[in-house]
Homo-oligomer: A and B are copies of this chain.
């Protein structure tokens, strides 16, 4: 993908880089359109390191000096631009795409656009409020939808500590018996809707819980079972459905909840931070 070797070098030498050098590499990679124009001292200021360190970085990558590194960055930029233009042209042609990636990612871009246009923002905002107000939250998502369900479970439970997903393996009933009036049940279901999802949601409504449905179509059998409905497009040219758009909606829900409850959430995240440190979970 990189036509010029500069970025390859950065990637290859990554492991032997010092902290500051990594910062510089990072900045160069993330600002490929502007960074090649900067002088050494300006780059140093942008990155937050000394000018000398920038110069050393150029030598570190085996260039003759900063101007040499700069020249290579500039060349990469020039070539990148034309290849980007070529790509735009190939995708713009009436649907006939040469390779699978371009086709699928293109479809997903379309799905997100469609979802965004069709989305009922009132329902979305209500959904956020219900999530915040809920006593406990249960997520129903079977088969392939389980992945998106567990993603939502992971983050909602991280920030609210009152969320769990009801999994296929579970002796369903025991969890379901807990569902109460001021609980919220979030159901995911996409084409080839599983019977079990429908059944569980019916039961949840019977028990008086609020229901939020995330599905792929207004004609979905889940729609009548939801007090709130969020529709996300999932169509791609494949035997599977794409969950990019529903996942993006989950991102938006989680983000909206955390923004509304940011005081609580920040404390919670800070506490977790200490925990993670203790158990040495993350790199760097």
Instruction: Say whether B1 contacts A119, CB under 8 Å.
Output: yes
In the complex, the answer to whether A259 meets B81 with C-beta atoms within 8 Å is no
Question: Could you tell me which residues of chain A, from 111 to 125, have a CB within 8 Å of some CB in chain B?
Answer: 112-113, 115-121, 123-125
Q: A213-247 vs B: 1/0 string, CB under 8 Å?
A: 00001110101100000000000111110111101
Q: By the criterion CB–CB under 8 Å, are B147 and A198 in contact? A: no
A254 proximal to B (CB < 8 A) = yes
Query: How far, in whole Å, are A278 and B116 apart by their CA atoms in the complex?
Result: 38
- Provide the bound-state CA to CA distance between A244 and B224, in Å: 27
Distance A104 CA – B146 CA, assembled complex (angstroms)? 22
Decide if A161 is an interface residue (CB 8 Å cutoff): no
Instruction: Specify which chain B residues have a CB less than 8 angstroms from the CB of A37 in the assembled complex.
Output: 36-37, 71, 74
Measured between beta carbons, the chain B residues less than 8 angstroms from A150 are 146-147, 150
Q: Which of B128, B198, B248, B281 is within 8 Å of A105, CB to CB?
A: B248
Say yes or no: B85 contacts A101, CB within 8 Å.
no
| Contact, CB under 8 Å: A112 / B109 | yes
Question: In angstroms, how far is the closest chain B Cβ from the Cβ of A148?
Answer: 7
In the assembled complex, the CB of A227 is this many whole angstroms from the nearest CB of chain B, namely 14
Q: A257-284: which have CB < 8 Å to B?
A: 258-259, 269, 280-284
Tell me whether A19 is interfacial, beta carbon within 8 Å.
Answer: no
Q: Does A52 contact B (CB under 8 A)?
A: no
Which of A22, A29, A36, A85 gathers the greatest number of chain B CB atoms within 10 Å? A85
Q: Which of A10-18, A58-66, A130-138 makes up part of the contact surface?
A: A10-18
Contact B144 A281 (CB under 8 A): no
Distance in Å: Cβ of A114 to nearest Cβ of chain B: 10
* A interface, CB within 8 angstroms of B: 1, 7, 10-12, 14-15, 22, 25-26, 29, 33-34, 36-37, 71, 74, 78, 80-82, 84-85, 87-88, 90-91, 99-106, 108-109, 112-113, 115-121, 123-125, 128, 143-144, 146-148, 150-151, 154-155, 192-196, 198, 217-219, 221, 223-224, 236-240, 242-245, 247-249, 251-252, 254-256, 258-259, 269, 280-284
Can you name 29 A-B residue pairings with CB atoms under 8 Å? A1-B120, A7-B218, A10-B218, A84-B84, A88-B109, A100-B252, A100-B256, A101-B116, A104-B255, A108-B251, A109-B113, A112-B244, A143-B154, A144-B155, A146-B150, A147-B147, A147-B148, A148-B151, A151-B243, A193-B283, A193-B284, A194-B281, A195-B280, A195-B282, A221-B284, A237-B255, A239-B255, A242-B247, A244-B247
